[in-house]
Structure formats: C-alpha cells, structure tokens
Amino acid sequence: MIRAVQAGSGRADAQGASSRGGRRVFRHLAFLVALGAAIVGLVGSMTAIPATAAGAEGATAVSARSTTTAHDPVIFVHGYGDDANTWDDTIRWFKGQGYRDTELFNWGYDWTASNSAHVGRLAGFIRDHFGADKKINIVAHSMGGLLTRKYLKDYPDRQSQVLNWASLGGPNHGAHNAVWCKFFPCEWAYPSLTEMSPGSDFLNGLNSGDETPGPTQYITYASRNDRVVSTGSTALTGADNHVLEDGPSHEGLRNDSTVRSGLLAEFDKHKPAPVTIDKGDYVIHAKAWLEYWNDGPGKCAELYGSIDLLHHGADRPGPESRDAWKVTDPSDFCEGDTRFGRQMDSMAPGAIGQWGDERGFTFRFDINDYDSTSSDDKLAAGRVSWDPTMGTGEFDEYVYGVDEGKVHLQYWVEHA
C-alpha cells in the first residue's frame, strides 16, 4: 500500500549536518589513499564528584526510586557516506518525546564495505543488548535499509523481535547514482556502491521471495524531492509505504517532522511495563582505545576529534559535561603511540557534577582520520549510554567507523 502524505512544515533538510566523510556521497569515486595504520591507545579515567556520604559504612547510596514510562528501544542505522552521529538531531527529538538515552541507539558501521559484511555484527549487537525476547524498533536511512533488511532475511528466528522496521529513502530496488555500476566495474572502489546498482546480485537476492518476511511491520518513507532514490525504489510489497508529496531532500528525510511523528505513533502502539529507577549518586571510571584499524600496517595517521562525556540528559558538552579527549588539529598518531592516554590522564578527575539524576550519562565518540587528498574518514562515531536501570558494574561497548575502525570502551559504574 502506498500513501501520499503532505510533508509537515517543521521539516529540515539537514544539508551540511553530515560528517566530513558524508560529503563524498554518490560522487565520482577514486582509490582510497592509505595514510597509515596503527593501534592507538586511549587510556584514562573520569570520576564524578561523589555525593555527601549518608548512613553507616557500607550503606547503599540509593536515595530514592522513581517509576517512569518505558519504550521499546530504537536502533538508528545510517546510510552510505554517513556515520552514526548523523542521527543526533533525531535522537534529541525522541528524547523530547519522553525516550531515555538508553532506549535510543545509533549503530555505526563501515559504509564502504559490503552490506553483507555487517549483518553478523548487527545480529551480535542486538543479541548482546536485548537478548532474544526484548522487542525493538529499527529505523534506517538510505543504504542502512538494505543492511537491516538483510539481517531480517538472514535471521528469520529474530523477525518476531523487531516490531517495526522503517526505511527512510531506502534504495530497496536501486539508487540513481549507482546505475553506472551496471556498465562500468566499480567494486574496486566501494562494494556497497555496486550493491545499490539496480539489478545487482545483492538486490536480486534481497528482494527474492517475500520482500517483507515475518511478523515485523515494514514501513517506508519516500519523498518526491529525493534526487538520489526514487519513490518506486523505496516502496516494498507488503509494507506500509508513504510518499511525501512536498517532502524533503534525501538527507532531509531523517529530520522530517511528518516522518518522525509517523514513526512515534507506530512505536507508541506497543507499551512495555514501566521501569523503576534508583535515583542515587554514582561514580564512573572509563578507558577506551582504538582496537582495530584496517588502513595498512606500520604507518601513521593524522587523527582529530573528541570523546565527550555527557550526563543529566545533555546532548552536547556543557556545564555538566566534559571532554574526555579532544584534538582540534590533526596530529600524527603511530603504532604504539600513547598520547591518547596521556591527554586523558592529564585531566584532573572530578569536577563534572553529581549524578543524582536518573537519566545517567552518555559517551559520544567523534574520531576522524585526516586525508589531504580526499574527504576525511570517520574512524569511529556513535553514542554509548548508561542509566540506573542497567545496574552497577563493568561494561564493554564498541563504536565503529570507516576503514573497519573499532573503538573499545570499558567503563565501571558504582554507587558513590
């Protein structure tokens, strides 16, 4: 079913909101210039100011409990040329509708590689965070829809876990700017581009049989003003297909008010049980390092960016948040270089506020590899969030990006 929808007045094209790496979306491609490789360490610790001790030694620091509305988690998956942080505005909007940070996930991947290469890791992410039974929703922009549809097709036993799958401008039957891959070989550049060519082996396999398998509700949104993916390409047989007659650009679909409101209405049809949150004071310790980077051994790279620690529901660094690591100008980092660690260690611990708020905290990663001959690579991007519903203890998370960049974050949370 295809529905024609008038776009809301609150839409935003969000052009320019993409990362530097996103600027090469669907342009003529060249061989990637290998600037180097390294295993770079980020080592440090961050400690919140503990609250004034109360009660006898060993007494719990939990001062109160509150009950709050729960929502099924939403996983946002970016498209070709983008990174996980392109969902920042959308996540901020959903938080404004009552969602907690720990219910909103922006999952990243190396968009230059084959979509098939990431399906297993997406399956592992869902298993590790939600088990086999917790219901979830998936929202994918552009090529992210192909990867996530591939997950649903390859893992039929997981289909009942995904309540809603939504594709925003998804090239489900091909993308305009990938048509030339039918006539000229382009696998030498990025395999993902070849897969988006109409009639590619990847698309033929993905669309064979039932295009919308299982009990999942499939939802698509397309725009008449999308110059990258046609409305006919996005629509799927068996899906609830929406066409925005006066809609935004391809990139603008992520932030369109009609799209957001429509998704929220669908997600709110299923209400999980309320959750109880301990409103105590907490202390966090953390360390992070670049665990893997496929850009050639024994060389150096010029890295810049930041790891921000946000809490009390903040969306960006501010009075109650801090930079865990920040480099503004690209700097050489080579194999075995420990400057990440020294920079983090040099920051005086404490002085970042008390955590008596049930919203917890978020690490936001934005690490780039400078390239003087092309657009910079987003080596790692994304968010890792915690709140008291997750309990105290040790946690391991991973954040991904281009060149198979993989940052490993370990953090420990305890009562103050």
Pairing of strands 301-311, 275-278: unpaired
pLDDT of amino acid 55:
30
What whole-number distance in Å separates Cα of residue 261 and Cα of residue 11? 11
> What average pLDDT score do residues 342-346 get?
43
Q: Minimum mean pLDDT among 30-39, 77-86, 117-126, 334-343: which range? A: 30-39
pLDDT of amino acid 217:
98
Encode pLDDT of 281-320 as tens digits.
777 778 777 777 665 555 666 788 988 888 766 666 666 6
* Three-state DSSP class for residue 218: strand
What whole-number distance in Å separates Cα of residue 75 and Cα of residue 122? 10
**Closest of 102, 169, 97, 181 to residue 134, by C-alpha:** 102
Lookup: tokens for 56: 């006898």
Lookup: tokens for 253: 């679909």
> What average pLDDT score do residues 115-136 get?
95
What whole-number distance in Å separates Cα of residue 200 and Cα of residue 195? 6
Q: Minimum mean pLDDT among 69-83, 149-163, 169-183, 300-314: which range? A: 300-314
Domains and CATH numbers, the chain: 74-268 (3.40.50.1820), 282-415 (2.60.40)
pLDDT of amino acid 68:
83
Contact 227, 176 (CB under 8 A): yes
- Reported as a pLDDT band with limits 50, 70 and 90, residue 393 is very high
Q: How far is CA 196 from CA 174, 180, 207, 280, 305, in A?
A: 5, 10, 12, 49, 31
Average pLDDT over the chain, rounded to an integer: 78
What whole-number distance in Å separates Cα of residue 231 and Cα of residue 103? 30
Encode pLDDT of 203-224 as tens digits.
999 999 999 999 999 999 999 9
Q: Is the pLDDT of residue 31 over 90?
A: no
